Structure 1
């Protein structure tokens, strides 16, 4: 073995195979380095500093060997960063699988999985670990708590029994859930994976807590939710039940995050909950993985290689043999396809009266509109006012609107052309009753707007925002407290909703008060379905059902009014209980149109020349449909282009391998321009 001069080699296994973090795509492979004597403690999974092409880079030691795989002289490991094993062989395989599925590099996935080292946090946690080890003997010798005659503790037996009964009721409502929990972490047989479309009466936090509490002792669990508000809600439930857990928050600083990472790594915390980044948490003895609302686009990682959290959790379920449980209020197309392929099983609830599991849901059909007269065609019909008025007598009322702001979308009264800014082509909006049209980007105030198509001056509102809706409801119900959530108003804490208040919220921003809402009104449903996206209908149903899940059951007086065209399949799906008609129709339409999830989609964006050169030089699999490249709109990037690739899912490995090879070849040839490759982006169509 040849090495560069100037250092002494370690006595045993002097060669370390190192995976670089954040290296260029064509350098995404292990490199051999010599292990100097001062870094002899470096072992697999430890973080080191190495030099490559004159730069110092982070790396992970994969293994130690006696002989290198190259004849070239080996450079030394520059520095052993820490003796902590920050990643296990199993997690390395998970990261490699994620990189392969997303056409990315292992180095980029490792950067997502391992937080940056924080020396002060590491030192503090080592001190805490030593203190815990010293306290263990003392705790064993200490007298235990006073026991009752029945063998349990004198305090809390009754409460534990009530919690156990509630858990049994919740687990028993969904046929097969108990079997999944019992088999969680089993080393034999197939790995249990399931999806559950929850009844509105069952909060996902209660179902998750019940499943965690029934795990075998010493087993770990990982729960991922799209939003930190969801994580906080689960945190409060677990805290009330006395279940120790670790919370990984998106707003945590580097020190707090690394200290939590180290506690999880050494097994001090085996129950971990968090948002998107928690999917890589190194939980010991992982037995159960729960993902809430996997169809939410917040679970798509915005950094390369842009993996979806569901993909990461699927890889972990396979490698660590952990049970996978997907919870939601509506079935997504991806979940339905996975169930159809036999990858997971959709667990149905046991039979129960409808008024005990969901609120009374009514859509404004033609009969209700005609009975009401002219007001039945308005945006806020009398039926909506009645639901709000009666709901205020029983508690708080939720009013969901698609957009924030005052009047966020305006169009010509005569021809319907959207009002755009003459300067930057951004949408013109109305911020209040006393202001004129104003651009949302450049701030231009348009006092004398004239339609560029028909040259008329009259305009009308296309969508009414939450601010304007709150203004109308304040005049109609002056005595009721009014809360506006979402958009510029920001989030509203769950405990900040007064009793008997009207809450106007955009989708996803609805606070969840204790005791749930007495009623809800879903406004402008047609506008939400008119969103320019191929999955607008499925996404609208997901947002509506999430809001409906916050309303009391019909037995407790809960009522929901859907204001929209009642004959639309998406709205009819809300009224029909657990009907498969809408979803089956959507899946059949997508099958015929070759849309996801029946086709694997890749998006290539970047500079025009870079995109065209990449498509010409990359050897794509036979049968790959290439759409574009198409120049992007001037408002997005005047120099950019976009191409979409489509292939059947059975050959998705071929597509990802070709894209990875194309990106690596482009990097090795030092092609100019920027380029980005994403697999299955949520906004592709």
Structure 2
């Protein structure tokens, strides 16, 4: 048989292709344009793009759904933001290729919030939506809807936890009326903040509106969940946290999205939760660094909720035993009101707080009281406290001997292989490197040749060992690192804990020893004093009141302002003073800061572009650049607070200019960094 000619083969291939290719669906006549936010993180492409809506996707392609679109020659994900009659684009429009899911996961309120957060932090909308909307799980979407109406009626409407505060009734009455009051709440020592949050959420839910409650970490979230179960019932709320895992998190997200409950609780990941008809947002202990998002554009959960309260006109309360400089600034500006108890109530609830060596009597009995790590008075307080209950011992560092120095000249001991710090991980065996793990049995000080080493810092495990010998027969437990205790009984015991890992004691601790206070204050961070005060207040608030015998002993310099703030139990006074010092030093929150990190060439290029975009009246100041390691440098851009929005816009424009021209060099731009030093 004769072979086909090339012309015949070409004709045959074209015929087969036409038979296999479906005719494209027509474009819908009703709102044929979809405005789509594409999942692209380039700053110069941070805007929505218009696409045509085919007839067969017209019903599913609703605002908030996930779609696939063609962008820059490849298929990318995106969200439909809105449907329009016409497009302002003059050129040819591409079609939406696929509706990934008909679930409208990006609500208009959350989309508006994502845009505001991106603008606030000089970031990209696509990066924020990755934080706001968890990855899809098709199996979870296919599960039957478990509820058609919000949860059951509120179990309890008692407001007992709010009774000590002067203006709490007025705040909660405003929430009942559907208004948008804003408050900074300074809790009295020993207050059950979780129950108070649950009661406030119950007030909001009773009006038919939703509430969003945030806790800093998983332990606090469990405590909040237990309180909400008691007040709202098991079906009265949903927990949304990244720790749940992808499937459970998406299931909880859909539960909130579909209106199965009016109350959502969670950690940082829940700040963008799609709560219907939001009436209240609440956040506990806003100074905790867990609220700072480590992914671009690095938003802080407190700022996200502030934007949300403003844009959705809902009530907001930020609570804590301590107070941050940021919340002090909100009070000073009049943006929020103060919820605080009368001084007589605070004094009645607070433990007696003393600093070792603060009086002549202490020094007469123990001349080394100010220098000793555990002076005589601390032993006395611990011994007396163990007669009636557990005693808390807060140690700033975990481990055994986490840092070693030369016995003679105090030179830090370093590994000869990698330069890492040497440490002891137990009571036996040689020191080893904290970086590479290499034993240092033959170590000699490079300065003086002495092979002996001593501890620069004593960790929680070594402290527990020493206390166990000093208090023979007393149970000693540790909490910190990967072994954190959630709660302890009222039985006498010594609980050695690192900051933030203190378990709650049944009936409160009878006493607390706060060791090595200098170490928390010596952290290389300008926020170190505020962070230290916050941790001390949180620990001291777990101790019984002075009238019930509760006592706190702090080991440190008696004249130090941060320690005196705890002695006087004045978190509001310390926050005001801290704000004034920040204002004098032109630091956040009194000024607007942006930290730029990258290669020297990339940082210099961005700073040049920022200066070109900034006018002379902005008060712009550039600090640095200074090297952070062998390959990167860091610069800080600073302006007055009133110019903050303009600075964020200029940072975005400068980054867009770089990405448009494909200027090489990675950069990290962080507005109002959580740490600064």
Pair in the same fold by TM > 0.5: yes
Q: Match of 2:344, SS?
A: coil
Distance 2:571 2:108 in 1: 44
Partner of 2:6: none
Distance 1:457 1:393 in 2: 44
Matched, 1:224 2:214: yes
CA RMSD across the alignment = 2.5
How far 1:18 moved relative to its partner?
Answer: 0.6
Q: Classify the secondary structure of the residue corresponding to 2:579.
A: helix
Q: Secondary structure at the match of 1:352?
A: helix
SS at match of 1:291: strand
Q: TM-score, normalised by structure 2?
A: 0.90
Q: Aligned partners of 2:366, 2:174: CA distance in 1, in Å?
A: 58
Counting only pairs closer than 5 Å after superposition, residues 346-385 of structure 1 correspond to structure 2 as: 346-353=338-345, 356-364=348-356, 365-373=358-366, 376=369, 377-385=371-379
Query: Shift in Å at residue 485 of structure 1?
Result: 1.0
Separation of aligned partners in 1, 2:512 and 2:79: 52
User: What is the CA distance between 1:468 and its match in structure 2?
Assistant: 0.5
Corresponding residue for residue 173 of structure 1: 164
Q: In structure 2, do the counterparts of structure 1 residues 22 and 552 end up closer, same or farther at CA, with 3 Å as the change threshold?
A: farther
Deviation at 1:35, TM superposition (A): 0.6
**Which one of the candidate residues 26, 48, 53 is aligned to 1:30?**
48
Q: Report what 2:390 is aligned to.
A: 396
Candidates 622, 627, 630, aligned match of 2:626: 630
Pairwise mapping of residues 549-564 of structure 1 onto structure 2 (< 5 A)? 549-564=541-556
Partner SS state of residue 642, structure 1: strand
Among 310, 321, 335, which residue is 1:318 paired with? 310
**Partner of residue 417, structure 1:** 411
The answer on 1:208 being equivalent to 2:200 is no
Q: Report the CA distance shift for 1:192/1:498 in structure 2 as closer, same or farther (over 3 A).
A: closer
Question: Separation in 2 of the partners of 1:547 and 1:228?
Answer: 18
Residue 61 of structure 1 is matched in structure 2 by 80
2:516 corresponds to 1:524: yes
Q: What's the counterpart of residue 590 of structure 1? A: 582
Instruction: Tell me the TM-score normalized by structure 1.
Output: 0.89
Measured in 2, the distance between the counterparts of 1:352 and 1:463 equals: 39
Of the structure 1 ranges 502-511 and 608-617, higher mean CA displacement relative to structure 2 is found in: 608-617
- 2:646 is paired with a residue whose SS is helix
| Change in CA separation of 1:403 and 1:560 when aligned onto 2, cut-off 3 Å | same
**Residue of structure 2 in register with 1:92 after alignment:** 111
8 Å CA contact 1:523, 1:563 repeated in 2? yes
CA distance in 1 between counterparts of 2:320 and 2:245 reads 30
Aligned-partner Cα distance in 2 for 1:56–1:184: 46
- Relative to structure 1, the CA distance from residue 584 to residue 45 in structure 2 (aligned partners, 3 Å threshold; closer, same or farther) is closer
Q: Per-residue deviation at 1:421?
A: 2.9
Which position in structure 2 is the counterpart of 1:10?
Answer: 28
Q: How does 1:46-445 map to 2 (within 5 A)?
A: 46-126=65-145, 128-129=146-147, 132=148, 164=158, 167=159, 169-184=160-175, 191-215=180-204, 216-243=206-233, 244-353=236-345, 356-364=348-356, 365-373=358-366, 376=369, 377-445=371-439
Is 1:473 equivalent to 2:467 in the alignment? yes
Distance, in Å, in 1 between the alignment partners of 2:521 and 2:212 is 34
The answer for unaligned runs of 5 or more in structure 1 is 145-152
Q: For residues 193-249 of structure 1, what are the alpha-carbon distances to aligned partners after superposition, in whole Å with 9 as ceiling and x for unaligned?
A: 110111113121122122223333312111111111001001111212344111113
Return the match for 2:656 from 664, 667, 670. 664
Work out the CA distance in 2 between the residues paired with 1:22 and 1:226.
30
Which of 482, 486, 493 matches 1:501?
A: 493
**Residue aligning to 1:605:** 597
Contact 1:421–1:428 at 8 Å: present in 2 too? yes
What does the per-residue CA deviation read over 1:59-94, in whole Å, with 9 as the maximum and x for residues that have no partner?
Answer: 111221222221222111111122222222222211
Shift of 1:353: 5.0
Report the alpha carbon displacement of residue 30 of structure 1 after superposing the two structures with TM: 0.9
Stretch moving more, 362-371 or 542-551: 362-371
Distance in 2 (alpha carbons) for counterparts of 1:108 and 1:590: 31
Shift of 1:320: 1.2
Q: In 2, distance between residues paired with 1:354 and 1:98?
A: 37
Deviations 1:604-635 (A, max 9, x none): 112232222222233353432112222222xx
Which residue in the other structure is 2:569 paired with? Answer: 577
Given that 1:186 and 1:321 are in contact with CA atoms closer than 8 Å, whether structure 2 keeps it comes out as: no
